[in-house]
Copies of this chain bind each other. A is one copy, B any other.
Amino acid sequence: MSYIIPKFSDIQEAHKRIKSLIHRTPVLSSSVINNILNCDLVFKCENFQKVGAFKFRGATNAVRLLNNNEAKKGVATHSSGNHAAALSLAAKQLGIPAYIVMPENAPEIKKKAVSGYGAEITFCKPTLESREETLKVVQNKTGATFIHPYDNFNVICGQGTAAKELLDEKTDLDIIIAPVGGGGLMSGTAISAKSLRPEIKIYGAEPLNADDAFRSFTKGELITAGPPNTIADGLLTSLSPLTFKIIKENLDGIFTAKEESIVAAMRLIWERMKIIIEPSSAVPLAAIIENQDVFKGKKIGIIISGGNVDLNNLPF
């Protein structure tokens, strides 16, 4: 089976397309954290992106590439997370319908976010089968185009614009590291980084409790994991054949991080940088904390993937 892999020129095109629709997020640093970890970290803060996550980049790129006929019928996805909110807002801005399939037990706050952007929610049972079946029913009824959260060429191109912006601004990084869930952000990051700075090391970071990408990468073949149990709720998904192929060919390694390191890294960023990041965004820093010998003395770019947390349910 062959897949069309995005090239950097596709990401450049995506960036031109979405630039005026997204926030150019700031790149921040903390001298205190640098001192603690003996390295030079810069954080690309997608927690300040629209809908509070990088997902808005990919969703916007995907909806803007629909043809008129497709656009009229709208877009659909199954997700209870940031991709659902991102697709809803991207569709709203374009003035087209969005249909979101969500498990009936999704948190109230997420239902509200999606319906607040004007999307139509269809509830399903909280199983992958029910999600996929319900999505098919919705698509058959509406003719909407399914925008997969990561197994999608245009979505990956959009996600790659975050690393492009980071490397345009910080041209001398030794390492770039991003969290790995389904691999959309990681794939786009790898393609941008490899092109803009061939000598850079590209690492993924994954919760030890959801280490399907690490195991797939190590074994050289795609392993799909059972339902993982991690606080990093944005990284519960497994790689797809497309994202696995990109990751296998471009990454220099994947590091895992224990749950307690993820919480400690999240807390360090909250306390020292005074910014709100979600647990998934803390996984790269957690991996650095656990592998300080690898990162010591290096200039490192971290993609902070998002800042959507339930303040009623914090890990500290």
Contact = CB atoms under 8 A, between A and B. Distances in A.
Interface in A291-316: 307, 311-312, 314, 316
A48 interface: yes
Interface in A269-290: 270-271, 274-277
Interface in A14-33: 26
Nearest to A267: B311
A237 interface: no
Contact of A316 (B270, B277, B311): B311
The listed residue with most B CB atoms (<10 A of its CB), out of A270, A271, A314, A316, is A271
A52 B274 CA distance: 8
A271 B311 contact: yes
A307 B30 CA distance: 15
Contacts of A312: 316
Nearest to A45: B274
A47 interface: yes
A276 B309 CA distance: 13
Given A271-B311, A274-B275, A274-B307, 11 more contacts: A47-B274, A48-B274, A267-B311, A270-B276, A274-B276, A274-B277, A275-B276, A276-B276, A311-B314, A312-B316, A314-B314
Interface residues of A, number: 16
The listed residue with most B CB atoms (<10 A of its CB), out of A52, A275, A314, is A275
The listed residue with most B CB atoms (<10 A of its CB), out of A274, A276, A307, A312, is A274
Contacts of A274: 47-48, 52, 275-277, 307
B47 A270 contact: no
A138 B267 CA distance: 36
Contacts of A270: 276, 311
A212 to B, nearest CB: 28
A56 B277 CA distance: 25
Nearest to A312: B316
A316 B314 CA distance: 9
Interface string A44-62: 0001100010000000000
Interface in A246-281: 267, 270-271, 274-277
A90 to B, nearest CB: 16
5 contacts: A47-B274, A48-B274, A52-B274, A267-B311, A275-B275
A231 to B, nearest CB: 15
Contacts of A52: 274
Nearest to A272: B52
Contacts of A26: 26
